[in-house]
């Protein structure tokens, strides 16, 4: 008896390392969304920013934070977990990714400040 299973619906499970990176990315995104959301709520209350711009900025920071956190976690996994070098590599990588992803938004547009 033969059964046909279409390959297009098959997705291999994530490896434990990849699964951890996805979880790190989600955690980083949540932290970034919370921080940017709080910052942009203050800006909205002071009428310094339009709601659509606040939402877009909050989402941008959330995505960037998630990517930076996952990338930093990947780099840190190459070191012993409790080493000072792992901490330094994590901070340097996360900072570099956030810097690169926010390159275009460094110049304020229309007097807005950015997170």
pLDDT tens, 17-37?
Answer: 778 899 999 999 999 999 999
Task: Note the pLDDT tens digit of each residue in 25-83.
Answer: 999 999 999 999 999 999 999 999 999 999 999 999 999 999 999 999 999 888 877 78
Q: Which residue has the tokens 């810097």?
A: 99
The tokens describing 102, both together, are 């926010």
State if pTM tops 0.95. no
CA angle 69-74-78, nearest 5°? 140
């Amino acid at each position: 008896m033969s059964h046909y299973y279409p390959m297009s619906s098959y997705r291999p499970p994530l490896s434990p390392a990849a699964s951890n990176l996805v979880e790190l990315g989600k955690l980083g995104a949540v932290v970034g969304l919370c921080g940017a959301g709080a910052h942009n709520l203050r800006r909205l209350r002071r009428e310094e920013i339009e709601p659509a711009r606040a939402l877009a900025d909050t989402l941008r920071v959330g995505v960037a934070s998630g990517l930076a956190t996952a990338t930093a976690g990947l780099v840190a996994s190459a070191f012993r977990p409790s080493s000072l070098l792992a901490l330094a590599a994590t901070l340097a990588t996360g900072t570099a990714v956030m810097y690169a992803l926010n390159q275009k938004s460094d110049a304020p547009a229309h007097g807005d400040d950015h997170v």
